[in-house]
Amino acid sequence: MIRVSVQPRRYISQRKEVLFCLLALLLSFASLVPGGPVETRDFSQMDARAYWAFNAFLTILGLAGFVVAYFVWRDEARGYRAAIVIGWLYVAADLGRVFPVSPDPTGFVLGIIMIADAILALNVVLFSYKALERI
């Protein structure tokens, strides 16, 4: 009789958590499009190049996040490593003063979403490190 040993997938324990947090982060962050329903601050005083560079950065980060979600769904180590980078970039963009500063105050809903996004991004990082058995 031939025995086939089946090795359990190494990263499966954190896949659902990372996917949920990453997709929730990407979807909630998409609601913060300038001029949209939540982000109503005025950025007209900003240099046009800085404004468009910032929007390009966020667009690329969002698209990369969906690609990373695919690799996490496939349960690949590179997906978890990239999710760590995506999570830290969201934290840096959100809390690291990368966002353009507007003279308008941050609204309540916008503030809540920004806090929730920071929590989701940190959870993406934490669960990805856990999946890679780094913590």
* Inside any domain, residue 1: no
The number of distinct structural domains making up the chain is 1
* Inside any domain, residue 12: no
* Inside any domain, residue 108: yes
Q: Containing domain of residue 111, as a range?
A: 18-131
Residue 128 scores a pLDDT above 90 = yes
> How many alpha carbons fall within 13 Å on the CB side of residue 122?
8
Report pTM: 0.81
* Inside any domain, residue 66: yes
What string of DSSP letters covers 67-94? HHHHHHHTT-HHHHHHHHHHHHHHHHHH
Contact between residue 100 and residue 8 where contact means Cβ atoms under 8 Å apart: no
pLDDT tens-digit profile of 16-43? Answer: 999 999 999 999 988 877 767 777 777 7
Contacts of residue 87, defined as CB under 8 A and 6 or more positions apart, other chains included, come to: 22, 25, 121, 122, 123, 124, 125, 128
Residue 87 scores a pLDDT above 80 = yes
* pLDDT confidence tier of residue 79, bands split at 50, 70 and 90: very high
pLDDT tens-digit profile of 50-59? Answer: 878 888 888 8
* Inside any domain, residue 11: no
Please report which helix (H) or strand (E) contains residue 28, including its range.
helix 12-30
Contact between residue 107 and residue 52 where contact means Cβ atoms under 8 Å apart: no
State how far the alpha carbon of 73 is from the alpha carbons of 20, 70, 101, in Å: 10, 5, 36
Report the pLDDT value the prediction gives residue 5, as an integer from 0 to 100.
Answer: 53
* Inside any domain, residue 6: no
* Inside any domain, residue 13: no
Residue 70 scores a pLDDT above 90 = yes
User: Quick one: tokens of 64?
Assistant: 């990369």
* Inside any domain, residue 49: yes
